[in-house]
């Protein structure tokens, strides 16, 4: 008599809560994974833990007071956030910005891009599992950049330095030398990271082929920034819709072909080097001059109208949509957040991968929760 063995075990799926308190969710973010053994079958993200009503608060504050709230929507790249906001105000009020202010804005935004990408490298290193070393390297480089920012604007993270029409005040006298010092140290930092992670076999084994998204899917889901450039789409707002003086600079968007986690890491690493080069080009073109237009009214009253200004923040397309109905306060301020749009593809990228990879994929999208939740 032949007894047939049962062909399948009865198994159950496990629901895992990667909760709001977790060392590697880059802020307060919650996702619920349904896993079968080690393979992720479903992923549900929960956001909103860091919602502070920044857009609503800006409706009660006039155009100069709102700058503080824009800093706090993206605290790792605050200059880029402020830039979109003041450019929207300038577009509505048709305010001319002097050249020197534009060049300095570009230098500060690129420096902020460098410091934000270093932060990504540090946090990503921890996600992949190296105990602390990339994180400390990243903060070592960020310290030099943030010290420079403190000498210019007085604050290390919430600068409130850009104003509608230019800058709040002039940069210190040794600005150029300090920037060159910072660039030299950042270059050393890039070399350290390159040596530590890029050719490491375990790192390559962990990140290649993981979290793939094709170019068509990325465009359809509205991604932007280094995450879409890593899938091969050369979408860089600095090139496609140049603002400030980016059309005078010589650079190409950095793309990669794989669309996986390793490519997102490489694109950001190379963008740091590209930003160092761009800052060098800007410093050559910097001339003395005024930093605000001659007649700036004390209280800005903007005519009726609406404006949508988008800039290339380190995480993608950061847009500010402003509606003004006369008066000195915006009627509606909406922030188009790059991280929120990029976060939509998390489920698509993670289903079918292992649990350990889901964490890495989340890290590679490089979100900052204050921008997702505002």
Partner 1 sequence: MKGILKSMMVTASTFARKPVTREYPESHRELPERDRAFPLLLWDEDINEPFCTGCHACERACPVECMTVIMKDNPNHTAHDGPSKRRKIIDSFYIDYGRCMRCNICVEVCNFEAIAMNNTWQGHETSVYDRSDLVMDLPQLLAESKAGEIQEWVAE
Partner 2 sequence: MSTEIFGIENVNVWVDGLIRVLLIVGFMTVVVMGLIYGERKILARFQQRLGPTRTGPMGLLQSVADALKLVGKEDLRPRNADPWTFELAPYLVFVPVFLGFVIVPFVLDWQIRILELGLLYFVAITGVNIVGWIMAGWGSDNRYAMIGGMRAAAQGISYELPLVLALVSVAMVVEVPLADGEVARGSLNLNEIVASQHEVPNIVWQPLVVVVFFIAGLAELNRTPFDIPVGESEVVGGPFVEYSGIRWSMFFLAEYAALLIMSLLFAAVFLGGWAWPAGIFTDEDWPRWAQALLVAGKASIFVFMVFWVRASVPRLRIDQLMGFSWKILLPLMLAQVMVNGLVLVYDWPEIILTVVGLIGIVALFAMVDRAVRQPRQRPASAAQLQSEAV
Q: Which stretch binds partner 1 (CB under 8 A): 168-176, 226-234, 262-270, 351-359?
A: 168-176
Tell me which of partner 1, partner 2, none is bound by residue 347, counting a contact when its beta carbon lies within the kind-specific cut-off of 5 to 8 angstroms. partner 2
Between CA 296 and CA 59 the distance in angstroms is: 22
Nearer to partner 1, 174 or 257 (CB): 174
Q: Helices (DSSP H) in the chain: which residue ranges? A: 54-59, 67-73, 78-93, 99-128, 133-153, 175-193, 201-207, 215-220, 226-229, 237-240, 261-285, 338-343, 346-350, 355-365, 369-373
Tokens of 132: 């602390």
Q: Which stretch binds partner 1 (CB under 8 A): 189-197, 255-263, 267-275, 341-349?
A: 189-197
DSSP-assigned states of every residue in 16-51: EEE-SS-TTSSSS-EEEEEEETTEEEEEEEE--TT-
Question: Long-range pairs for 12-20 at CB < 8 Å and ≥24 separation?
Answer: 13/41, 16/355, 18/358, 18/359, 20/49
> Least distance from C-beta 75 to partner 2, angstroms?
22
- Binding residue for partner 1, selected from 185, 187, 200, 273, defined by CB under 8 A: 200
> Residue 117 in contact with residue 271, Cβ under 8 Å?
yes
User: How far is residue 212 CA from its own chain's centroid?
Assistant: 20
User: How would you list the strands of the sheet with 14-18, edge to edge?
Assistant: 14-18, 30-36, 39-46
Nearer to partner 2, 21 or 287 (CB): 21
Instruction: Based on the shown chain and the rule CB under 8 A, indicate whether residue 153 belongs to the binding site for partner 1.
Output: yes
Between CA 285 and CA 170 the distance in angstroms is: 17
Instruction: Based on the shown chain and the rule CB under 8 A, indicate whether residue 286 belongs to the binding site for partner 1.
Output: no
> Least distance from C-beta 53 to partner 1, angstroms?
13
Give residues in contact with partner 2 (CB under 8 A).
14-16, 22-24, 38-39, 41, 125-133, 136-137, 140, 196-197, 200-206, 208-210, 217, 347-348, 351-357, 359
Tell me which of partner 1, partner 2, none is bound by residue 304, counting a contact when its beta carbon lies within the kind-specific cut-off of 5 to 8 angstroms. none
Instruction: Based on the shown chain and the rule CB under 8 A, indicate whether residue 169 belongs to the binding site for partner 1.
Output: yes
Nearer to partner 2, 57 or 126 (CB): 126
Residue with structure tokens 């330095």?
161
Q: 126-145: which residues touch partner 1 (CB under 8 A)? A: 133, 137, 140, 143
- Binding residue for partner 1, selected from 61, 102, 270, 274, defined by CB under 8 A: 61
Cα-only R_g, the chain: 22
Instruction: Based on the shown chain and the rule CB under 8 A, indicate whether residue 37 belongs to the binding site for partner 1.
Output: no
How many residues bind to partner 1 according to rule CB under 8 A? 34
Q: Which stretch binds partner 1 (CB under 8 A): 45-53, 88-96, 196-204, 330-338?
A: 196-204
Nearer to partner 2, 204 or 296 (CB): 204
Interstrand relation of 14-18 and 30-36 (parallel, antiparallel or unpaired): antiparallel
SS3 (DSSP) at 197: helix
> Least distance from C-beta 30 to partner 2, angstroms?
15
Instruction: Based on the shown chain and the rule CB under 8 A, indicate whether residue 50 belongs to the binding site for partner 1.
Output: no
Helical axes 261-285 vs 99-128, angle rounded to 10°: 160
- Binding residue for partner 1, selected from 16, 126, 168, 286, defined by CB under 8 A: 168
Between CA 240 and CA 201 the distance in angstroms is: 36
- Binding residue for partner 1, selected from 14, 184, 204, 296, defined by CB under 8 A: 204
Q: Which stretch binds partner 1 (CB under 8 A): 198-206, 208-216, 270-278, 280-288?
A: 198-206
The residue ranges that bind partner 1 (CB under 8 A) are 61, 64-69, 133, 137, 140, 143, 150-155, 158, 160, 168-170, 172, 192, 195-204
């Amino acid at each position: 008599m032949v007894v047939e063995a049962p062909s399948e075990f009865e198994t159950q799926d496990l629901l895992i809560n990667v909760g709001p308190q977790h060392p590697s969710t880059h802020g307060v973010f919650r996702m619920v994974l349904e896993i079968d053994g080690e393979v992720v079958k479903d992923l549900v993200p929960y956001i909103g833990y860091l919602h502070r009503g920044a857009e609503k608060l800006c409706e009660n504050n006039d155009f100069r007071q709102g700058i503080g709230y824009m800093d706090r929507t993206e605290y790792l790249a605050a200059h880029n956030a402020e830039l979109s906001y003041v450019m929207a105000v300038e577009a509505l009020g048709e305010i001319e910005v002097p050249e020197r202010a534009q060049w300095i804005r570009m230098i500060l935004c690129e420096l902020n891009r460098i410091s934000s990408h270093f932060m990504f490298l540090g946090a990503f290193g921890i996600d992949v599992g190296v105990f602390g070393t990339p994180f400390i390297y990243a903060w070592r480089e960020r310290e030099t950049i943030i010290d420079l920012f403190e000498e210019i604007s007085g604050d290390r993270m919430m600068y409130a330095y850009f104003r509608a029409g230019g800058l709040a005040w002039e940069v210190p006298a040794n600005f150029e030398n300090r920037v060159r010092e910072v660039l030299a140290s950042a270059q050393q930092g890039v070399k350290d990271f390159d040596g530590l992670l890029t050719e490491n076999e375990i790192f390559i084994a962990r990140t290649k082929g993981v979290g793939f998204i094709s170019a068509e899917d990325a465009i359809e889901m509205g991604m932007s920034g280094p995450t879409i450039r890593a899938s091969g789409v050369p979408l860089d707002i600095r090139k496609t819709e140049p603002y400030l003086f980016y059309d005078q600079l010589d650079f190409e968007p950095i793309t990669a072909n794989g669309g996986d986690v390793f490519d997102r890491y490489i694109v950001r690493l190379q963008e740091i080097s590209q930003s160092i080069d761009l800052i060098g080009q800007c410093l050559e073109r910097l001339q003395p001059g005024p930093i605000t237009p001659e007649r700036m009214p004390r209280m800005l009253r903007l005519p009726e109208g609406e404006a949508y200004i988008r800039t290339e923040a380190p995480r993608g397309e950061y847009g500010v949509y402003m509606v003004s109905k006369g008066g000195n306060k915006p009627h509606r301020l909406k922030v188009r957040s790059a991280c929120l749009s990029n976060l939509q593809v998390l489920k698509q990228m993670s289903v079918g991968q292992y649990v350990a990879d889901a964490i890495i994929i989340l890290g590679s999208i490089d979100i900052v929760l204050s921008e997702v939740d505002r």
